Amino acid sequence: MAEIMAKKRIMVVDDEIPVARDVKKTLEESGYEVICLISTGEEAVQKAEEHRPDLVLMDIRLQGGMAGIETAEQICTRFNIPIVYLIADEDDNILQKANQTGAYGYIVKPVGDRALKVTIMMALYRAGMEKKLKAMCEKFEQKSLELQVSRENFHSIVEKSGEGIAVVDQEGIIRFVNPAAEILFNRRQDELLGAMFGFPLLSEKPTEIDIIRRGAGKPGVGELQAVETEWEGAKAYLVSIHDITERKEVDSFKDEFVSTASHELRTPLTSMKNAVDILLSGKTGEINPNQKNFLHMAQRNIKRLSQLVNDLLTMSKIEAKKMILDFAPTDMVEIIHSAIDSVKPIADKKFIEIEAVPHSSSLVYADGFRIEEVMINLISNSIKFTHDNGRITIKTGHVQERTQLGTRDFIVVLVEDTGIGMDGEHVDRIFERFYRAENSLSANQPGSGLGLAICKGIIEAHGGKISCKSQKGSGTTISFTLPIG
**DSSP per-residue codes, 220-273:** EEEEEEEEEEEETTEEEEEEEEEE-HHHHHHHHHHHHHHHHHHHHHHHHHHHHH
Helix (H), strand (E) counts: the chain: 14, 17
- How many angstroms separate the CA atoms of 452 and 444, rounded? 18
φ, ψ for residue 164, nearest 5 deg:
-75, 130
Structural domain includes residue 149? no
Q: 378 and 278 in one domain? A: no
Residue 373 is predicted with a pLDDT of 92
What SS3 class is residue 66? coil
Structural domain includes residue 13? yes
Full domain range(s) for residue 273: 247-319
Sign of the torsion angle spanned by Cα atoms 210, 214, 219, 220? negative
Per-residue confidence of the chain (485 residues) as pLDDT tens digits? 444 445 799 999 998 889 999 999 999 988 899 999 998 989 999 999 999 999 999 998 887 778 888 898 999 889 989 999 988 876 777 788 888 887 888 888 888 889 899 999 999 999 889 889 888 988 888 888 887 777 777 777 777 777 888 899 988 899 998 888 888 888 888 888 988 988 888 776 788 888 877 666 678 888 888 888 888 888 999 888 888 888 888 777 777 776 677 677 777 878 888 888 888 888 888 888 888 888 888 888 888 777 777 777 777 777 777 788 888 998 898 999 999 999 999 999 999 999 988 776 678 889 999 999 999 999 998 998 899 999 999 998 888 877 655 678 889 999 999 998 888 777 878 887 777 665 544 445 556 678 888 899 999 998 899 999 988 888 999 999 998 86
Q: 253 and 237 in one domain? A: no
Q: 12 and 117 in one domain? A: yes
- How many angstroms separate the CA atoms of 8 and 82, rounded? 12
What is the pairing mode between strands 219-231 and 234-243? antiparallel
Structural domain includes residue 405? yes
Is 9:33 a contact under the CB 8 Å cutoff?
yes
Domain of 196: which CATH number? 3.30.450.20
Structural domain includes residue 390? yes
Is 231:246 a contact under the CB 8 Å cutoff?
no
Q: 168 and 307 in one domain? A: no
Q: Which of 243, 262, 278 is the last residue of a domain?
A: 243
198-234 b/e with 16+ CB inside 10 Å = b?
Answer: ebebeeeeeeebebbbbeeeeebbbbbbbeeeeeeee
Structural domain includes residue 16? yes
Q: CB under 8 Å, gap of 24 or more: what pairs does 177-183 form?
A: 180/214, 180/241, 181/241, 183/212, 183/214
Radius of gyration of the chain (CA): 41
Instruction: Please tell me the total count of domains within the chain.
Output: 4
Structural domain includes residue 141? no
Q: 197 and 254 in one domain? A: no
Q: 285 and 338 in one domain? A: no
Sign of the torsion angle spanned by Cα atoms 256, 257, 261, 264? positive
**What's the CA dihedral at 208, 212, 214, 220 to 10 degrees?**
50
**What's the CA dihedral at 106, 109, 114, 115 to 10 degrees?**
-20
Q: 68 and 187 in one domain? A: no
Structural domain includes residue 127? yes
- How many angstroms separate the CA atoms of 203 and 216, rounded? 29
Domain of 265: which CATH number? 1.10.287.130
Q: Which of 119, 134, 149 is the last residue of a domain?
A: 134
Q: 450 and 368 in one domain? A: yes
Q: 469 and 335 in one domain? A: yes
Q: Which of 134, 152, 180 is the last residue of a domain?
A: 134
Q: 464 and 349 in one domain? A: yes
- How many angstroms separate the CA atoms of 19 and 62, rounded? 13
- How many angstroms separate the CA atoms of 73 and 101, rounded? 5
Query: Which pTM does this prediction carry?
Result: 0.50
Q: 443 and 385 in one domain? A: yes
Structural domain includes residue 43? yes
> Of 29, 49, 30, 99, nearest to 38 (Cα)?
49
Q: 383 and 309 in one domain? A: no
